[in-house]
Structure 1
Amino acid sequence: MKVFAKNRMLLRSVWLATVLATAGCSLAPTYLKPNVSMPPAYKEEKTQPLLKPAEAGNWKTAEPSEDIARGEWWRVFKDPALNDLERQAQDANQNLVAAAARLKEARALNQSARSALFPTLDAGFGPTREKVSPASQFQSDSGQGASQTLWRAQAGVSYEVDIFGRVASTVDAADAETQRSEALFRSVLLALQADVAQNYFALRQLDAESDVYVRAVELREQALKLVQQRYSMGDISELDVARAESELETARSDAMTVQRLRATSEHSLAVLLGKTPAEFAMAANPLQPVILRIPAGLPSSLLERRPDIAAAERSMAAANARIGVAKAAFFPSLTLTGSAGFESGSLSNLFHWSSSTFLLGPLAGTALNLPIFDGGLRKGNLANARAVYEEDVANYRQQVLVAFREVEDNLSDLRLLEGQTQTQAKAVGASSRAAQLARAQYTEGDVIYLSVIDAERSALQSRRAAVQLQGAQAAATVNLIRALGGGWGNAVPEKTALNVTQH
């Protein structure tokens, strides 16, 4: 008997040592970021001359990683009004408030998941009045069952030994989800900053278009007076007067269209600032050319800069950890429980040492539970966890491809817009000169009024197209910074003499 007892104690010791040795061993696959195909340089950057240090300013190509706070990149535009709008948006935008609340939710869930790493403790105090049946006391059914009042003061403890890493994998998944929520919050913040800048420049573009139409209406009013004078002198027919009036009213109508678009744009900007349209108004301020040299850096740095890519990568990490949780369900789980306290028939004797009680192990059930049959539930959960991981890998790679495309799109836009704005400026000058010549020749009677109308229409279209190109250039600059994940420093504006609104 002594030998049997010794062997039993030895087996218990070996089992306990095995449990302690394997506790916390995660069954999740080793997490590695999937390989993504990336070029050594952007396609559009190859066609651009290299930036000199003086041109690059303090703009940095990349610094790992998402933990680095993004700078106030919009300050590169050197526009105090834009700076103020960005501040207002970050203080009051409701989408940003909602994103911050989602981040709080993720952190709270992370805290809940981490609680499983520690034992749970509870305590209780109170009386219990009970009466037992005569049969339970081996008496006849006609007997009187005993009744009593029990006072209890007890504390309980419960702890799951993480033998196969279920708890550890759950915590890893929660950590990754929290980091994903943080990256998504930064993504919402970056999107808000870019949307404010884009709406602001769109509003100023419409102000510039409005200025173009103000000038066009003034010229058509002068033309109508001239035509009416010539008609009163009998030099021309009433047809020219009707044409002049038509051109004037058309220009006025087009100007109203621009004002309608401006009102809508102003309302959109108000919502971004967390205000009702009635609470926000912005004085007219025509757009000036915005030309910035934004170095895109290396394609590999894009994976560090973009918050949406960081969110997709963290989603992969969480899915990988959940595979470990699903695998751990196939193995035994061990829960250690115990309680201790005092139990007495009277409150006065409750805390006497003779009234002390304790219980080690579960009151019902077993401490070590081994799953045997569940109809394929665990197998289905594991297959689902692996499929979710594969989906997240594909989403991550797709997000990287989309990021590269967005950078290339805006690099090409800026490259082509630079030449297009210069060409359009020449078109504005030529069309304006043609309109002046047509008006002079008409005054001299050398051309018919239809030639004046064609020349002025061409000049108006050229001036408006030039303003729209300036707006596109500003929007592409904002979009490039957004596609690069925001900035850490400043870029240097290029000097330009282009100002098409003055023609």
Structure 2
Amino acid sequence: MRGSAFIMRLVPALLLAGLSLGLGGCLLGPDYVRPTVPTPATFRFEASEAAEVANAMWWEQFGDPVLNDLIAAALADNKDVKIAAARVDQFLGQFVTTRSALFPQINAGFEASRQRSSLAGLPTLPPGVNPIFNEFQAPLSAAWEIDFFGKVRRQTESARASLLATEEGRRATILSLVASVASSYINLRDLDQQLSIAKATTESRAGSVKVFQARFAGGDVSQMELAQSESEYEASLATIPQIETQIAQQEDALSVLLGHNPGPILRGRELTELEVPPVPAGLPSDLLQRRPDLRQAEQNLIAANALIGAARALYFPSISLTGLFGTASGQFSKLFTGPARIWS
């Protein structure tokens, strides 16, 4: 009983001592400081209009509901976005695992074994002692590494920055996907208009060929002029399958962006009916701080900077507090009795 009471008094004291050492411990390595970049105090252009455009879902300004639905489908089904989201979950797990080292690690278990000692070994067993015996244990252990030199805190700082960098990478993937879907859709509508013009031109030149054939039969034009008209018709007719092939390729590429199998794409407004989003005459330079690729690069720099301190801390000893309390007995019926208690 006195041993158990001693442990109960000793453990809180050691935990408080370790906590005070951890809080008062030093952090090795340099703290991250964002590099200073000279920027003008004022901008040449008003930033209100630019902020309004940047904060909105800009693709909706085209006024095409079909384009809005395509982008929504891409955000839901695109494989790259799903991979980026899964990477965020992966780095979140790594951050939680790394950060858990700041807290005591508690383990509980149960062990049962049956052993036989050698009768020919040294030392020999006393006469009458059965060489076969059982052993049962139910230990509860705890260990806590006091982060006196900041190794775990620097590793946690690096893991947090890596997590934020991965999240910015996911945002960059989304922005790139939205821009690619909108651009592909606009190119598709442009090809549709080219196909419509090519068909109209071919039909017009087919009528012209008929006129030249009638005039050639009447002797008004030469055979060369008739051949030139037929050549223009054939050239216009040949462009139609080429544009149709480009349309099919563009539809397949857009289907891949949507995360679907290659197939036809639903059309909305005509190219001439799309509303052109307003583009400000000038954009403030502080918008660069919102670019996810730049923010990702900065978080990667923060993570690498924190690992400097973690590497320096490896030159110093690790200080850990460990404790064990449980029971051990050769008979299961006596495992949870008072004489079976063990502690360290």
Give the TM-score taking structure 1 as reference length: 0.59
Larger mean Cα displacement after TM superposition, 132-141 or 170-179 = 132-141
1:34 shift after superposition: 1.6
Paired residue type of 2:133: Q
* 2:70 and 2:181 in contact (8 A); partners too: yes
Matches within 5 A, 1:248-267: 248-267=233-252
Residues 348 and 237 (structure 1), Cα distance of their counterparts in 2 relative to 1, 3 Å cut: same
In the aligned structure 1, how far is the partner of 2:18 from the partner of 2:160?
30
Matches within 5 A, 1:19-34: 20=21, 24-34=25-35
2:72 is aligned with 1:87: yes
2:285 is aligned with 1:299: yes
2:271 aligned partner: 287
In the aligned structure 2, how far is the partner of 1:57 from the partner of 1:169?
39
Paired residue type of 1:59: E
In the aligned structure 2, how far is the partner of 1:18 from the partner of 1:242?
96
> For 2:31, what is the secondary structure of its paired residue?
coil
In the aligned structure 2, how far is the partner of 1:225 from the partner of 1:150?
106
1:25 shift after superposition: 2.7
1:23 shift after superposition: 5.2
2:329 is aligned with 1:344: yes
Matches within 5 A, 1:267-278: 267-278=252-263
Larger mean Cα displacement after TM superposition, 140-149 or 73-82 = 140-149
Larger mean Cα displacement after TM superposition, 142-151 or 333-342 = 142-151
1:136 shift after superposition: 7.7
Residues 77 and 106 (structure 1), Cα distance of their counterparts in 2 relative to 1, 3 Å cut: same
Q: Deviations over 1:131-183 (max 9, x none)?
A: 44568875599997855322212111111111101111111111101101110
> For 1:337, what is the secondary structure of its paired residue?
strand
Larger mean Cα displacement after TM superposition, 306-315 or 230-239 = 230-239
Q: CA RMSD in A?
A: 3.0
Residues 41 and 276 (structure 1), Cα distance of their counterparts in 2 relative to 1, 3 Å cut: farther
Q: List runs of 5+ in structure 2 lacking aligned partners.
A: 1-13
* 2:66 and 2:267 in contact (8 A); partners too: no
Which structure carries more relative contact order (alpha carbon 8 Å, separation 6+)? 2
Paired residue type of 1:84: D
> For 1:151, what is the secondary structure of its paired residue?
strand
Among residues 59, 82, 88, which one is paired with 2:52 in the alignment? 59
2:301 aligned partner: 316
1:480 aligned partner: none
Among residues 181, 200, 207, which one is paired with 2:166 in the alignment? 181
* 2:64 and 2:269 in contact (8 A); partners too: no
Number of residue pairs aligned between Structure 1 and Structure 2: 327
Q: List runs of 5+ in structure 1 lacking aligned partners.
A: 1-12, 62-69, 360-503
2:230 aligned partner: 245
1:284 shift after superposition: 7.9
Matches within 5 A, 1:41-56: 56=49
Matches within 5 A, 1:3-402: 20=21, 24-36=25-37, 56=49, 59=52, 71-132=56-117, 139=124, 146-278=131-263, 280-283=264-267, 286-288=270-272, 291-295=276-280, 296-303=282-289, 305-359=290-344
* 1:89 and 1:274 in contact (8 A); partners too: yes
1:79 shift after superposition: 1.3
Give the TM-score taking structure 2 as reference length: 0.85
Paired residue type of 2:111: G
Residues 86 and 133 (structure 1), Cα distance of their counterparts in 2 relative to 1, 3 Å cut: same
